[in-house]
Amino acid sequence: MTLPRPLRVLGIETSCDETAAAIVDGDRRILADRVLSQTGIHTPYGGIVPEIAARAHLDHLDGLIRDALAEAGVGLADLDAVAATGGPGLIGGVMVGVMAAKGIALAARLPFLAVNHLEGHALSPRLSHGLDFPYLLLLVSGGHTQLLAVEGVGRYARLGTTIDDAAGEAFDKTAKLLGLPYPGGPAIEQAARDGDPARFALPRPMLGRPGCDFSFSGLKTAVRQAVAGLATPPTARDVADMAAAFQATVAAVVADRCRRAAALFRQRHPTGGALVVAGGVAANGAIRTALERIAADLGMPFVAPPHRLCTDNGAMIAWAAIERFRLGQQDGLDFAPRPRWPLDPTAPKAIGAGVKA
Ligand code: KG4
Ligand code: ZN
User: For position 353, what pLDDT does the model report?
Assistant: 46
Residue 135 near ligand 1, beta carbon < 6 Å: no
Neighbouring CB atoms inside 10 A of 111's CB total 16
Q: What pLDDT score was predicted for residue 39? A: 78
Amino acid identity for residue 241 in this structure = D
Mean pLDDT (the chain) is: 93
Output the DSSP codes for 143-190: S-EEEEEEEETTEEEEEEEBSS--HHHHHHHHHHHTTPPSSHHHHHHH
- Nearest bound ligand to CA 280? 1
> Tens digits of per-residue pLDDT, 203-224?
887 777 788 999 998 999 999 9
Predicted pLDDT at 261: 97
Atom number in ligand 1 closest to CA 310: 1
Q: Report the residue among 171, 177, 287 best suited for mutation to probe ligand 1: largest number of ligand atoms under 8 A from its CB.
A: 171
Q: If you average pLDDT over residues 312-332, what whole number do you get?
A: 98
The pTM (predicted TM-score) of the whole model is 0.92
Mean pLDDT (whole number) for 189-207: 92
CB 135 within 8 A of CB 152: no
Report whether residue 156 contacts ligand 1, using a CB cutoff of 6 Å: no
What pLDDT, on a 0 to 100 scale, did the predictor assign at position 45? 80
Q: Whole-angstrom Cα distance, residue 124 to residue 130?
A: 9
